[in-house]
Amino acid sequence: MKTSSDHIQDYNAPLEKEQKRQFDFLAESLEKKGLNVPSLLQKIQDLQIAIPSWALGTGGTRFGRFSGGGEPATLTQKIQDVGIIHALNKSSNAVSLHIPWDIPEDYEAIKAVAQSVGIGFDAVNSNTFQDQDGQSQSYKFGSLANDTLAVRELAVQHNLEVIEIGKKLGSKALTVWLADGSSFPGQNSFRKSLDNTFQSLREIYKGLPEDWKMLVEYKPYEPNFYSTVIQDWGTSFLLANKLGPKAFTLVDLGHHLPNTNIEQIVSTLMTEGKLGGFHFNDSKYGDDDLTVGSIKPYQLFLIFTELIAGFTETQNPNPAWMIDASHNLKDPMEDLLQSVQAIKMSFTQALLVDNEQLKSAQENHDVAAAQEILQDAFRTDVRPLVNEAIRQSGGAINALEAYRKLGIREQLIKERGSKTKATGL
């Protein structure tokens, strides 16, 4: 199915008046503060968040998965789902493929499908944390870090193939999430594991096209429960520096120990020009992969404050933005619409921060004022502004509501059945 622009306009029509009332009031308030509202609208429109191909189906935990209906069974259907999201929110114009789950059979056909719904191809993702049927070597004890040369070679080869697939689709980045590590003290030599990983990544790096980036994720634990080879930003940063100018660190919000100050990590990486990408989600305990903004919206705002400061104050290239969440309980598309909306709200609030005043408060050690300045932006109800930006782009004033009113899931179930199950986790 495709969501037509007409449907969205029909949905919008009865809401336009109230939207205008709210937007006008907010715009007036912002202009009184000296903000340029048209410029804000433009920036909000420009912010596009990629959708990972594995996020269109229901996720699960080690204790089980409860599938929903109408899930996409093919790559074409996954791209169509991203297309629906983008039609509704005009904010998700790319898909990030996961190999081998999403290897296209016919590249031209897949590209045509994507183009027809306005979707491009973001970073491609390799998978060396699972064995595929008939695989010659097992990743049970690691892949790029494995002590066994043949396993490392297989994992390197897989990553090189992922690059080839990405090249055919127009991707410009390879994301490497390395689950390698150990679950027990003594299982591995930290030193050898790190060195193996570096050597393997260097082989992959050699195969990277000139205009590509390599994005190296870090994560403290899970699926290994004693150590992870790339356990923190420091390790990823160390590797990225050794690899070269095309290698960057990727931050996944859920990949941190309790209480980590993530916004500071973002700032440091941008200062060093090494923040390559972002996986958005939210969490309370570990890598919970919940809807963005559902647990710690203020932290998200603080992170965006750093990102926006970094855009203007550092040489860091624009990072790749992506959702990376697991939709265990909600309709995946509803979950993604909520996540993208949360990102846009935080981004917008961060745009409202009065940086001149903030800088002055900082110089004067006026701690209370600095807090007031940040919270003034955060407390502002920016929904009319975000929704206006989307509306002006042709999207729905309230994308989630539109998704429901237009009966999209019901149609997908009709088309695809209620028992399909998306490939992936």
Closest CA to 95 of 56, 45, 46, 47: 56
Backbone angles phi, psi at 405, to 5 degrees: -60, -35
Q: Which amino acid is at 189?
A: S
Which one, 104 or 395, has the nearer CB to a copy of itself?
A: 395
| Total length of the chain | 425
Contact status: 12 vs a copy of itself (CB under 8 A): no
The one segment of 6-14, 85-93, 202-210, 370-378 that binds a copy of itself by CB under 8 A = 370-378
Strand, coil or helix: what is 43?
helix
Among 73, 296, 308, 317, binds a copy of itself (CB under 8 A): 296
Among 125, 291, 316, 346, binds a copy of itself (CB under 8 A): 291
Among 94, 110, 123, 194, binds a copy of itself (CB under 8 A): 194
Contact status: 259 vs a copy of itself (CB under 8 A): yes
Site string for a copy of itself, 328-367 (x = CB under 8 A): xxxx--xx--x------x------------xx-xxx-x-x
The one segment of 2-10, 156-164, 254-262, 387-395 that binds a copy of itself by CB under 8 A = 254-262
The one segment of 4-12, 73-81, 287-295, 415-423 that binds a copy of itself by CB under 8 A = 287-295
CB 172 within 8 A of CB 211: yes
Going by C-beta distance under 8 Å and a sequence separation of 6 or more, which residues neighbour residue 106? none
Contact status: 134 vs a copy of itself (CB under 8 A): no
Contact status: 231 vs a copy of itself (CB under 8 A): yes
Contact status: 153 vs a copy of itself (CB under 8 A): no
CB 182 within 8 A of CB 227: yes
Contact status: 294 vs a copy of itself (CB under 8 A): yes
Q: For tokens 């994308």, name the residue.
A: 399
Contact status: 71 vs a copy of itself (CB under 8 A): no
Contact status: 61 vs a copy of itself (CB under 8 A): yes
DSSP 318: P
Contact status: 371 vs a copy of itself (CB under 8 A): yes
Assign residue 368 a region: left if phi > 0, alpha if psi is -120 to 50, beta otherwise?
Answer: alpha
Number of Cβ within 10 Å of residue 363's Cβ equals 8
The one segment of 4-12, 88-96, 98-106, 294-302 that binds a copy of itself by CB under 8 A = 294-302
Rounded to 5°, the CA angle 225-226-232 comes to 90
Q: Which amino acid is at 33?
A: K
How many Å apart are CA 384 and CA 345, to the nearest integer? 10
CB of 86 vs a copy of itself, minimal distance in Å: 19
**What stretch of H or E contains 237?**
helix 233-243
Among 155, 174, 302, 352, binds a copy of itself (CB under 8 A): 302
Contact status: 316 vs a copy of itself (CB under 8 A): no
Among 264, 311, 405, 417, binds a copy of itself (CB under 8 A): 264
Among 13, 42, 109, 298, binds a copy of itself (CB under 8 A): 298
Contact status: 141 vs a copy of itself (CB under 8 A): yes
The one segment of 161-169, 201-209, 369-377, 414-422 that binds a copy of itself by CB under 8 A = 369-377
Contact status: 248 vs a copy of itself (CB under 8 A): no
Backbone angles phi, psi at 199, to 5 degrees: -60, -45
Q: For tokens 């042709």, name the residue.
A: 394
How many Å apart are CA 230 and CA 300, to the nearest integer? 24
Q: Which 91-110 residues touch a copy of itself, going by CB under 8 A?
A: none
Going by C-beta distance under 8 Å and a sequence separation of 6 or more, which residues neighbour residue 162? 99, 124, 125, 126, 174
How many Å apart are CA 215 and CA 255, to the nearest integer? 15
Among 257, 318, 405, 419, binds a copy of itself (CB under 8 A): 257
Backbone angles phi, psi at 99, to 5 degrees: -105, 130
How many Å apart are CA 395 and CA 402, to the nearest integer? 10
Contact status: 223 vs a copy of itself (CB under 8 A): yes
The one segment of 89-97, 126-134, 160-168, 414-422 that binds a copy of itself by CB under 8 A = 126-134
Count, residues near a copy of itself per rule CB under 8 A: 108
